[in-house]
Amino acid sequence: MKPPLSLLNPSMLSGSGSLMWFRKGLRVHDNPALEYASRGSTCVYPLFVIDPHYMVLDPNAYSPGSTRAGINRIRFLLESLADLDSSLKKLGSRLLVLKGEPSEVLIRCLNEWDVRKLCFEYDTDPYYQALDDKAKNYASAAGIEVFSPVSHTIFDPADIIEKNGGRPPLSYQSFLKLAGEPSFSLSVELSWMPPVGDVGRCEILQVPTLKELGYVEKHQDEFTPFRGGESEALRRLRESLSDKEWVANFEKPKGDPSAYIKPATTVLSPYLKFGCLSSRYFYQCLKDVYKNVKRHTSPPVSLVGQLLWREFFYTVAFGTPNFDEMKGNKICKQIPWNDDDKLLAAWREARTGYPWIDAIMVQLRKWGWMHHLARHSVACFLTRGDLFVHWEKGRDIFERLLIDSDWAINNGNWLWLSCSSFFYQNCCQICCLHNSLFNMSDCCFQQYNRIYSPISFGRKYDPNGNYIRHFLPILKDMPKEYIYEPWTAPLSVQSKAKCIIGRDYPKPVVLHDTASNECRKKMGQAYALNQRLNGRVSEEDLRKLRRKFDEDEDKQEPKPRRQRQKLIK
């Protein structure tokens, strides 16, 4: 399970310097760009640029943080950088931190420093693709060698797409067939690094603290319990792998989404997101465990299967123009979602009146991580399940608040959960996977018919409501009979629990049974429209269908979407 040992030694140095540009890939293990930068160089400049695009404080944001990242993820990143700096110091180097627009900072460094090789991990996110083009163009024109290996993922998404005739595979099974067994070798473990070169007039910073970046920590009442960095990633990995039986029997979607003291999954996603953990190393460790057990689960449900879901979404995202939008996205159903900012705010601020949904949204704000099925519940509720709000709005909130926020995976899962894509293409497999989660009679209907109940789904795992009591302490004394539907508790019970519904905790924003039926109808009509027009749905077609939805709603008395549930006194 140990990565190969270093072949590098000081006598191999020749006469040039390298710049190792860290963005993700915040690790020293299995880091081919870092290995290449170190090989044969007289000096290495390990650079990280604090990018205002992600990091500038936004005092007007709905929760502490920048416009694009909540404070938990920024803190996780700073912890990861401090850990990387400390690992580099052990190798005789250090992290050089600079602030500014990354391509400008990088070009200045390439100009002023003794650099012959520019090394950075290949990144498929559109933001980095644009940035990297600028860097590569400048470096090539200046005669600087560029080395940009694929090491954030196990497979190279471009290879898979090429094997598929230039199009990304749209189902997990076809992805598996095309991908086959991966053939990578982990990069060597560095035991030593060339010294940092002369930085001239550049003002190098230490890894900043939240305070130094202008964030006042007291605005956040609770921080995520997950600490950033490669050391913590490897510790967590070892801990997960130490229970070989657990690894061998891992089966998703089995597992309790309400388990928060000891989560039911690895919680390695934020470490994979920032590259504190190499997905290739993780994959190899899992294969090593499998070799030593009699039986183990397989994709899509196994732990290796989870990593392959990640690969699948990376591949589709890379090969699909406008993957993060409904408009202009060929694999996305065109659906006239509503733009109800009040409903969106209720969801975001954990005020839907459904304790299961609200507790998950509190966990998102406080921890930046929730179990996969918890994410399913709230994403379904916001979109096709109850509120019919556009998936892009929910995606934006997840993207900002998750500590594992990942462009390809987040967008992919929102497309899936809103039944805008994937779900129908992966139908049979999902039917099998989710039979345990839904009423069997729903199986093989159109997938949008299968809606997570905001009441009974959570109750199945956690009848006492411990998860809700933890994240929504206002409900901590509510008897278990009412914890998932507190508006049905008699007033005397609410008084005794010191939680009056409508005063201390909101009434439900919609009536689930009515709202979900309405959503099903709307999804049916939207799917029919997409089918009739063979996916070529125009803005005008969507406007017409939206008007029809509004007329249908007006005909109903009383208006069910806004209907308040009666309190039983």
Binding residues for FAD: 265-269, 306-313, 404-406
Tokens 């799917």 correspond to 527
Pick 371 or 384: Cβ nearer ligand FAD: 371
Q: How many residues bind ligand FAD (CB under 6 A)?
A: 28
The answer to whether the CB of 34 falls within 8 A of the CB of 192 is no
Both tokens of residue 59? Answer: 């005092």
Residue 63 CA: distances (Å) to CA of 60, 180, 332: 8, 43, 30
CB of 106 to ligand FAD, least distance (A): 26
CB of 404 to ligand FAD, least distance (A): 4
The distance between the two most distant Cα atoms of the chain, rounded to a whole number of Å, is: 84
Positions in 417-446 near ligand FAD (CB under 6 A):
417
Beta bridge partners, 336, equal: none
Pick 372 or 546: Cβ nearer ligand FAD: 372
CB of 104 to ligand FAD, least distance (A): 28
Pick 172 or 482: Cβ nearer ligand FAD: 172
Query: Out of 315, 410, 420, 494, which residue is the one contacting ligand FAD (CB under 6 A)?
Result: 410
Q: Does 310 bind ligand FAD (CB under 6 A)?
A: yes
CB of 119 to ligand FAD, least distance (A): 25
Binding-site annotation, residues: 265-269, 306-313, 404-406
**How many angstroms separate the CA atoms of 97 and 558, rounded?**
60
How many residues make up the chain in this entry? 569
CB of 99 to ligand FAD, least distance (A): 26
Query: Out of 43, 268, 357, 415, which residue is the one contacting ligand FAD (CB under 6 A)?
Result: 268
Query: Out of 66, 80, 278, 306, which residue is the one contacting ligand FAD (CB under 6 A)?
Result: 306
Query: Out of 87, 148, 151, 265, which residue is the one contacting ligand FAD (CB under 6 A)?
Result: 265
The answer to whether the CB of 119 falls within 8 A of the CB of 37 is yes
User: 24, 48, 38: which is closest to 92 by C-alpha?
Assistant: 38
Site stretch for ligand FAD (CB under 6 A), options 124-132, 174-182, 191-199, 307-315? 307-315
User: 491, 489, 492: which is closest to 479 by C-alpha?
Assistant: 489
Rounded to 5 degrees, what are φ and ψ at 118?
A: -110, 120
User: 388, 324, 327: which is closest to 537 by C-alpha?
Assistant: 327
Pick 269 or 284: Cβ nearer ligand FAD: 269
Mark 186-213 as b/e (b = at least 16 C-beta within 10 Å).
bbbbbeebbebbeeeebeeeebbebeeb
CB of 398 to ligand FAD, least distance (A): 5
Pick 399 or 462: Cβ nearer ligand FAD: 399
Positions in 76-95 near ligand FAD (CB under 6 A):
none
Query: Out of 51, 324, 406, 518, which residue is the one contacting ligand FAD (CB under 6 A)?
Result: 406
Tokens 């709230």 correspond to 378
Site stretch for ligand FAD (CB under 6 A), options 35-43, 228-236, 301-309, 345-353? 301-309
Q: If DSSP states are collapsed to H, E and C, what string results for 89-142? A: HHCCCCCEEEECCHHHHHHHHHHHCCCCEEECCCCCCHHHHHHHHHHHHHHHHC
User: 233, 21, 230, 237: which is closest to 123 by C-alpha?
Assistant: 21
Task: Print the binding letters for residues 329-368 with ligand FAD: x by CB under 6 A, - otherwise.
Answer: ----------------------------------------
Q: Does 266 bind ligand FAD (CB under 6 A)?
A: yes
The answer to whether the CB of 97 falls within 8 A of the CB of 38 is no
Query: Out of 121, 156, 230, 404, which residue is the one contacting ligand FAD (CB under 6 A)?
Result: 404
Positions in 550-569 near ligand FAD (CB under 6 A):
none
CB of 274 to ligand FAD, least distance (A): 11
The answer to whether the CB of 152 falls within 8 A of the CB of 123 is yes
Pick 117 or 310: Cβ nearer ligand FAD: 310
| CB within 8 Å of 372: residues ≥ 6 apart | 252, 253, 257, 265
Q: Does 273 bind ligand FAD (CB under 6 A)?
A: yes
Task: Print the binding letters for residues 229-258 with ligand FAD: x by CB under 6 A, - otherwise.
Answer: -----------------------x------
Site stretch for ligand FAD (CB under 6 A), options 158-166, 213-221, 404-412, 434-442? 404-412
**How many angstroms separate the CA atoms of 129 and 464, rounded?**
48
Q: Does 405 bind ligand FAD (CB under 6 A)?
A: yes
**How many angstroms separate the CA atoms of 397 and 399, rounded?**
5
Pick 310 or 348: Cβ nearer ligand FAD: 310
Query: Out of 398, 484, 487, 549, which residue is the one contacting ligand FAD (CB under 6 A)?
Result: 398
**How many angstroms separate the CA atoms of 125 and 120, rounded?**
14
The answer to whether the CB of 395 falls within 8 A of the CB of 324 is yes
- What's CA 451's distance to the chain center, in Å? 22
Site stretch for ligand FAD (CB under 6 A), options 196-204, 374-382, 480-488, 521-529? 374-382
Site stretch for ligand FAD (CB under 6 A), options 164-172, 215-223, 263-271, 444-452? 263-271
Q: Does 375 bind ligand FAD (CB under 6 A)?
A: yes
The answer to whether the CB of 334 falls within 8 A of the CB of 537 is yes
**How many angstroms separate the CA atoms of 445 and 191, rounded?**
57
**How many angstroms separate the CA atoms of 471 and 494, rounded?**
18
Q: Which residues bind ligand FAD (CB under 6 A)?
A: 252, 265-269, 272-273, 306-307, 309-310, 313, 371-372, 375-376, 379, 398, 402, 404-406, 409-410, 413-414, 417
